[in-house]
Amino acid sequence: MEGLGCREKAIALCLDQGQAVPEVAGQLGVAPSTLRGWLRQARLEREVEALRQELARLQQGNLVNDKRPLIRTVHHLACTGGTVISKCLAAMPQVAVLSELNPLNRYGRTFEPTNPLLLLERSHRPLTLEEIKEDFLSRIGQSMRICEKDGMALVVRDHSHTDFCLGEAPGSCTPICDFLSEGHDLVSVVTVRHPLDSYLGLLEKGWQNQFRPSTLDEYCRRTLAFLNRYRELPLLRYEAFCAQPQGFMEELCGILQLDYRADFVERFGAIRLSGNSGRVSTTAIAPRPRRPIPEAVQLELVGSAS
């Protein structure tokens, strides 16, 4: 302690070495009351410095963590090849896919034992948009924490059919983007298929009855609304996927900032996802012939403005 002033010596002996005030006061020749005043001030200064350092640490942590969480989203309509493309995404390394997600969908089954808010809505009252949003973001947050813990990249496959092809008109809210964009950075992409082929797929399933009028022109009008909503996003074509699946998936992984592995073609068939309504092959990806076109649809092709 050589070179230190009397006050600094007293503080070091009492606060750092734990010596008693009377003993130190006697050693240094100062009044015990003076020494106690020094110690009170020193303790206060140390508390202030500790708080300053903690504040600086928290501010630095906020700067480090200021980047918003990243979520990858994929958007497509029904019968456009979305399931097989999503299976190929799920076959990439360290990728988890939430398939066909849409918190506004109310067209599913009536038995929902794992969804307490939906049960409350059915027995009490319709939920507000904010209540649905709050529940949805909470569940997405938990999904993201699980993926982060497991070292997985989360991809959300939107059920865009809910927003654009159910009910009397396309909806005004697209919740996957509208809800998630407020607190997350989104990396998103749209995949499309020739609308005639996708409409023929809807006819085969009877799903054209989910909108009115159930015509090709109405379906194309809704498809245009879908494309207009996501006009700023990269757009990839299902036909290109069928022709060159590896090149397509490499491009898609690049857009979504995912690691690409060419051997996904050997593994995608084992992936289980919802929406598996069309392609049945689990080993091959190749162009498929167009379904037969009904006479009524042939007539629409001539007169459809959309």
Strand partners, 74: 157, 189
SS3 of residue 305 by DSSP: coil
Select the CATH number that applies to the domain covering 70-303 from these four: 3.40.720.10, 3.90.550.10, 3.40.50.2300, 3.40.50.300.
Answer: 3.40.50.300
| Cβ–Cβ under 8 Å, residues 225 and 67 | no
Strand partners, 167: 211
| Cβ–Cβ under 8 Å, residues 247 and 101 | no
pLDDT of residue 179: 96
Say how far apart CA 140 and CA 272 lie, in whole Å: 20
Residue 154 phi/psi, 5° resolution? -95, 130
pLDDT of residue 283: 66
Q: Which residue has the tokens 């049945």?
A: 280
pLDDT of residue 175: 95
Say how far apart CA 162 and CA 158 lie, in whole Å: 9
Say how far apart CA 76 and CA 303 lie, in whole Å: 26
pLDDT of residue 63: 46
pTM (two decimals):
0.75
Q: Which residues of 185-215 are buried (b: 16+ CB within 10 A; e: fewer)?
A: eebbbbbbbebbbbbbbbbeeebbebbeeeb
**Terminal CA-to-CA distance of the chain, rounded, Å?**
88
| Cβ–Cβ under 8 Å, residues 213 and 219 | no
Residues 6+ apart with CB under 8 A from 219: 165, 195, 198, 199, 202, 208, 211
pLDDT of residue 62: 53
Say how far apart CA 10 and CA 14 lie, in whole Å: 6
Per-residue pLDDT of the chain (306 residues; tens, 9 = 90+): 444 578 888 888 887 888 888 888 888 888 888 888 888 888 888 887 887 777 777 666 554 456 789 999 999 999 999 999 999 999 999 999 999 999 999 887 778 888 899 999 999 999 999 999 999 999 999 999 999 999 999 999 999 999 999 988 998 899 999 999 988 999 999 999 999 999 999 999 999 999 999 999 999 999 999 999 999 999 999 999 999 999 999 999 999 999 999 999 888 988 888 756 554 555 689 898 999 999 999 999 988 888
Protein fold of 6-64: Arc Repressor Mutant, subunit A (1.10.10)
**165 CB-side CA count, 13 A:** 26
Burial of 217 (C-beta count, 10 Å sphere; 0-12/13-18/19+): middle
Say how far apart CA 223 and CA 197 lie, in whole Å: 13
Six token digits for residue 180: 């998630």
pLDDT of residue 110: 77
Strand partners, 153: 95
Nearest partner of 201 among 171, 161, 169, judged by Cα: 161
Q: Indicate the domain borders of the chain.
A: 6-64, 70-303
Distance from the Cα of residue 203 to its chain's centroid: 32
Q: What is the DSSP letter of 267?
A: T
